[in-house]
Amino acid sequence: MTKRELTELLEGVRAGAVRPEDAARRLRAAPFEDLGFAKIDRHRELRQGVAEVVYGEGKTAEQVCAIVRRLRAGGVRTVLATRLDADKAAALCAAEPDTAWDASSRLAVVGPVPEPDGAGTICVCTAGTSDQPVAEEAARTAEALGNRVTRLYDVGVAGLERLLAHLDELLSARVVIAIAGMEGALASVVGGLVDVPVIAVPTSVGYGAAFEGLAALLAMLNSCASGVSVVNIDNGFGAGFLASRINHLP
């Protein structure tokens, strides 16, 4: 049940168009829908402000399509589905023609992308081009949640002048997402330049001792710049979601 549906139901009770016992019955049935292989959380938007997001890895194409179909039938206008490979994306696009899938980020947006209503701009920056798939997952997630996004790609510390050339974009953002693999130094540099929250995303990019992102994760957790928080390795979705939360604060 969405906030709009709940408001309409309560207004119906107040106007006498809906009996209280009927409203209570709908509310009892609303918290989740059991599909057998998944239990759809109908109250996610009421609790968190955003409807349930479908994580595609480990699910079959049929399961992904069924969950998305039931979410939309329940009133969710825009559904996010993450980590979809090409086959699952093709099946979803066939089932839901208004699906937009991005191969780089493996993120699908089903339905209309809302107009930006966040307080400011989210700046997504990467150390290198190899970090771009994670960055696009973050950026597209933020856009689908109603945010303006600025992208600054390949501005890592190996050529610091590339980052400093975009200082105006960094300083005008309300939230910055800093994405880097290898030694993960970009987050500390950005954290030392801006006075807004910085969300650091370690990526699995790098040679052997990068340990598939563990080195960047530990470096970001030990950042000496204040105001830097860290999400999990390659978790662009989590960074985009958190940035949206911050950007929608009063």
The answer to the question of residue 204 being in a domain is yes
Do 129 and 234 fall within a single domain?
yes
For residue 20, what pLDDT is reported? 87
Instruction: State percent of the chain over pLDDT 90.
Output: 78
For residue 28, what pLDDT is reported? 65
Give the angle 112-113-116 at the CA atoms, nearest 5°: 140
The answer to the question of residue 70 being in a domain is yes
Q: Is it the case that residue 100 has pLDDT exceeding 90?
A: yes
Beta strands 99-102; 107-110: pairing state: antiparallel
Rank 4-8, 28-32, 102-106 by mean pLDDT and report only the highest: 102-106
Instruction: State percent of the chain over pLDDT 70.
Output: 97
Do 180 and 73 fall within a single domain?
no
Q: Residue type at 245?
A: R
* Count of domains observed in the chain: 2
35-91 pLDDT tens trace? 899 998 888 887 888 889 999 999 999 999 999 999 998 888 999 999 999 999 999
For residue 141, what pLDDT is reported? 97
Range of the domain at 169: 121-247
185-215 pLDDT tens trace? 999 999 999 999 999 999 999 999 999 999 9
For residue 1, what pLDDT is reported? 60
The answer to the question of residue 97 being in a domain is yes
Do 106 and 165 fall within a single domain?
no
For residue 9, what pLDDT is reported? 80
The answer to the question of residue 68 being in a domain is yes
Among residues 140, 192, 142, which one has the least CA distance to residue 163?
Answer: 192
Q: How many H helices and E strands in the chain? A: 11, 11
Do 54 and 127 fall within a single domain?
no
- How much is the average pLDDT of 142-151? 97
CATH number of domain containing 196: 3.40.50.1970
* Cβ atoms of residues 199 and 175 within 8 Å: yes
